[in-house]
């Protein structure tokens, strides 16, 4: 059965998300972000800073460790919360997921979608944003 774009949009608008599964996906995503934060921290520790680096800059960089630890804790918390939630609580998919700007994040949080795994490219090229 082929659905028109209007019918697909209408079907998505009325699709429900199980809250427990969404909370579990949020926990997984927080864990992924914690790992990325730890990788940034390791990469920065390999950089050679000027001998007289400003103390405020050093304190700012140390904040990455706090971010990593908080993300790890929040990931564990959301994973635990997801197992304690009743399985019959549902949220409407579109109003929740449409608030996200990152397509991959929205897909990773959707319990009905397959998680997107971004592979690191080892091309030697670095793209700064």
CB 64 within 8 A of CB 44: yes
Tracing tokens 């103390």 back to the chain, one arrives at 55
Tracing tokens 């790890």 back to the chain, one arrives at 72
Range of the domain at 30: 16-109
The verdict on residue 35 lying in a domain is: yes
The verdict on residue 76 lying in a domain is: yes
pTM of the full predicted structure? 0.74
**pLDDT top residue among 126 and 81:** 81
93-105 pLDDT, tens digit each: 988 999 999 999 9
Number of domains in the chain: 1
The verdict on residue 61 lying in a domain is: yes
The verdict on residue 5 lying in a domain is: no
The verdict on residue 84 lying in a domain is: yes
Burial class (CB in 10 A: 0-12, 13-18, 19+), 83: exposed
Separation CA 62–CA 70 (nearest Å) = 13
Question: Which distant-in-sequence residues (6+ apart) come within 8 Å of 8 by Cβ?
Answer: none
34-82 pLDDT, tens digit each: 999 999 988 887 887 667 778 887 788 889 999 999 999 999 999 999 9
Mean pLDDT (whole number) for 14-38? 93
């Amino acid at each position: 059965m082929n659905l028109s774009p209007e019918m697909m949009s209408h079907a998505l608008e009325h699709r429900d998300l199980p809250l427990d599964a969404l909370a579990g996906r949020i926990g997984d995503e927080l864990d992924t972000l914690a790992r990325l934060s730890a990788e940034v921290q390791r990469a920065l520790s390999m950089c050679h800073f000027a001998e007289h680096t400003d103390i405020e800059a050093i304190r700012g960089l140390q904040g990455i460790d706090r971010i990593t630890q908080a993300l790890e804790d929040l990931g564990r918390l959301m994973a635990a919360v997801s197992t304690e939630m009743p399985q019959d609580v549902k949220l409407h998919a579109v109003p929740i997921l449409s608030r996200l700007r990152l397509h991959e994040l929205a897909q990773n949080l959707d319990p009905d979608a397959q998680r997107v795994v971004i592979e690191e490219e080892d091309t030697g090229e670095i793209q700064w944003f």
